[in-house]
Amino acid sequence: MNVKHFIEDKLLIFEVNEEIDHHTSERIRKRADYEIERFMPKKVIFDFKKVNFMDSAGIGLIIGRYKLTNSFGGELELVNVSNKLRRVFEMSGILKIIPITQNFSNEKTG
């Protein structure tokens, strides 16, 4: 997972580049929690451009980071979510609290 932080925008971006399952979600969770607590950003973005598979552990991962970010007034957003993953998010009900932006591109990331 690549992490990008932009101080002036108070923005933290997690570029997830692997499947999210029981085994990988714990490692991603630890790194995300560390970075979120370290920077306390106004907005956290999870970029799913390179994620082809996610199980229920991924839903738990996202909900937990939403709660952490929300606890200090920040927002969480999901970007570049494939149709397959969008269906998983829709079935879980997560889209009622966390928005998805399709085709996110941040000029700062190159």
Q: What is the mean pLDDT of residues 81-107?
A: 86
Judge whether residue 99 has pLDDT over 60: yes
Average pLDDT value for the chain:
92
pLDDT of residue 110: 43
Q: Which domains are present in the chain?
A: 2-105 (3.30.750.24)
Judge whether residue 109 has pLDDT over 50: no
Write down the residue that tokens 């149709």 correspond to. Answer: 83
Q: Which residues of 13-45 are buried (b: 16+ CB within 10 A; e: fewer)?
A: bbbbeeebeeebbeebbeebeebbeebbbeebb
Tell me if residue 58 falls in helix, strand or coil: helix
